Structure 1
């Protein structure tokens, strides 16, 4: 006979666990039962043992005599309405409704299409030539000595007259510029996620993720490479190296008036070239006097401020021009402003933005020299502007003649614009035309050497007659 002990028998506990979860640890005595009636007759109150042993503490309430906690209540900053003023803000990526003429209306400017004659005469007159001819490739592939495979060798170029060395330098400058283009489009390790693109020829095609060099980075790289290539002409023109300096990411912040309204402009350009002397004004005094008869654009019934945003700023805020050294510095005159514009902006809209940027730099330079005046300038201020995207270049020459912006009559400012200059055409692949839908590399064609000739003429202006 086998004895079944308590340790060997299974005690059913499932119903007890379910009952405990159901009651949540609270057991009430039913007064309708016999035991409940007896306890009620004798006046015995049944309570929880845990509550009886450890009674709960009374709920704390903060005294009403103390001040509220300063850490919980953040006082609002007192704003005096008298210290604030309303202005119309002009951003860098602003697109004007009427394009270039709209920007000329806000800046009281007369526009001329094309470059000024003094700069147009320099286009193609001088070209960069390689003073170190290309050597034959080495026989040993493991040793590379000499040759022209290094991008840093771009600095070993000089300047020559086009009429004297046309046959020799006709293709050398183009080869150097093409190297800068390939460097900005292909020879870069950046692999960022590119925006999803679409093609009107096949809207239903499902594009995959593409990685590569963003268009904004390619535009900045090409702009810097071409500037470095233009600086290599300093071997023949030493004043370019001694009388100029380059500043990256300078900021400009200023306000100006337009028909009893205050306009505010704040921007950070990519590159600004300063010089020891002012840029000569391409417009003579006779042309300045004749500008009084020019009529600006009439946008009625639309307001010229339709694209601007009204914001509040402090009256005590100190506005400044381009962040640079004081006027006594040898190179303190802004000469060339180089900037980029996003791909979604058309060339004409970008040219209008370049007009505003050049106008603001010239305006602050005039205020820095002549103080706060509202009349015509005896010596106009001229600023050059080169605005580019991934492959398109806009050239702007702005001449500030007057600071009187309260009315549209009188002397006007001048601007010469030559926009929508495509240096090359970038053709992206169309995978649906391939039998296996492969993503082939981009193709670059239709190179135009005339664009860099204009770039070089803008850079050499005021240093070569």
Structure 2
């Protein structure tokens, strides 16, 4: 249709606007918490994460996990050779490349180890009541000495279960944490490296809808698979990230179960975490004892950490030949079965 000069324009209906539209951002009440995101690096490392989460550190794994490793009736030794074979598959045989890149072999190794763990479901059927969730998000908000804090973002690969992990510390051990003194960073602010963001709603969200059958967080897995060293978290930074997101998942779950009022929990929430770059492993068990986090006094949370555990010493992808003689054959050397047992024990924890 051609437009005729001087003719009236056709009437067009006004755009429909809902009366229930939200307020513009500038009119909403805004808070600015210091936020820990999945991409944030903590320069102060684990000590900073301990202060932010009001947590006492215990070196090594808890007795409940150690007991699984030492139980000969479970037959964990029978799986050691299979685990070594899976390491060789990830590092040597999974691709036609002469030397697989870390971004390739790290996820493959994780899937291989999880596959071995799932073989135990024949002996323990309740292990089949687990679910792996990828790219799931968590949000947890709390106050610490008048500082509003938040954990938010992607929390690695999360394994959920239909039943929670039982508490690993007794009531006496929990009460004994009252005497523990948390380390400070004066004159450095404890929120260093945290990002201050505009938030229009304090959110505590597990990332799953009500009624989801696998509603209890069990273990978080963090894969540091970047090829470039500077793009990966250092072990100390990775442990801090593991603690913050284990705490975030536990706090969001505790508030969903018991409400937002600060309190010492009658039934502590336990969340585990495993981090790896495809060779070096970090193991963690976190127990949330209290949601009363404002003051340094009173009951503290607990975390057990077994750090810097090599699964193997070296992967020789291409044989080294000198003067026609093979000096270093291709293969995996220095395999550490205890590291695999720790991975498997954390998987079995809560069922065995």
TM-score (norm 1): 0.63
Alignment of 1:44-443 (within 5 A): 79-80=25-26, 83-126=29-72, 161-162=74-75, 170=77, 172-189=78-95, 213-241=100-128, 243-313=129-199, 315-316=200-201, 319-326=203-210, 328-341=211-224, 343=229, 344-426=232-314
When residues 117 and 298 of structure 1 are mapped into structure 2, their CA distance, relative to the original with a 3 A threshold, is same
In the alignment, is the contact (CA less than 8 A) between 1:254 and 1:320 conserved in 2? Answer: yes
Q: Secondary structure of the equivalent of 1:86?
A: coil
- Cα distance 1:224–1:269, how it changes in 2: closer, same or farther (>3 A)? farther
Q: How far 1:354 moved relative to its partner?
A: 0.8
Structure 1 unmatched ranges of 5 or more: 1-76, 127-159, 163-168, 192-210
Cα distance in 2 for residues equivalent to 1:235 and 1:430 = 38
**How has the CA–CA distance of structure 1 residues 256 and 441 changed in structure 2, closer, same or farther, with 3 Å as cutoff?**
farther
Taking the aligned partners of 2:156 and 2:38, their CA distance within structure 1 comes to: 12
2:62 and 2:122 map into 1 onto residues whose CA distance is 26
For these two proteins, the number of residue pairs brought into alignment is 322
CA distance in 2 between counterparts of 1:295 and 1:123 reads 32
Rounded to whole Å, the distance in 2 between the matches of 1:441 and 1:87 is: 54
| Change in 2 beyond 3 A, CA 1:382/1:78 | closer
1:73 alignment partner in structure 2? none
Deviates more, 1:375-384 or 1:89-98: 89-98
Q: Kindly name which structure, 1 or 2, has the bigger radius of gyration based on alpha carbons.
A: 1
Within a 5 Å distance, the mapping from 1:12-51 to structure 2 comes to none
Moved over 6 A (4+): 428-436
For the aligned residue pairs, the C-alpha RMSD in angstroms reads: 2.9
d(CA) in 2 for partners of 1:225, 1:261: 42
Whether contact under 8 Å (2:140, 2:249) holds in the other structure is no
Evaluate the alpha carbon distance shift between residue 319 and residue 434 of structure 1 in structure 2; reply closer, same or farther with a 3 A threshold: farther
Larger RCO, structure (CA 8 Å, separation 6 or more): 2
- Cα deviation for residue 433 of structure 1 reads 10
TM-score by length of 2: 0.82
The separation in 1 between residues aligned to 2:133 and 2:110, in whole angstroms, is 14
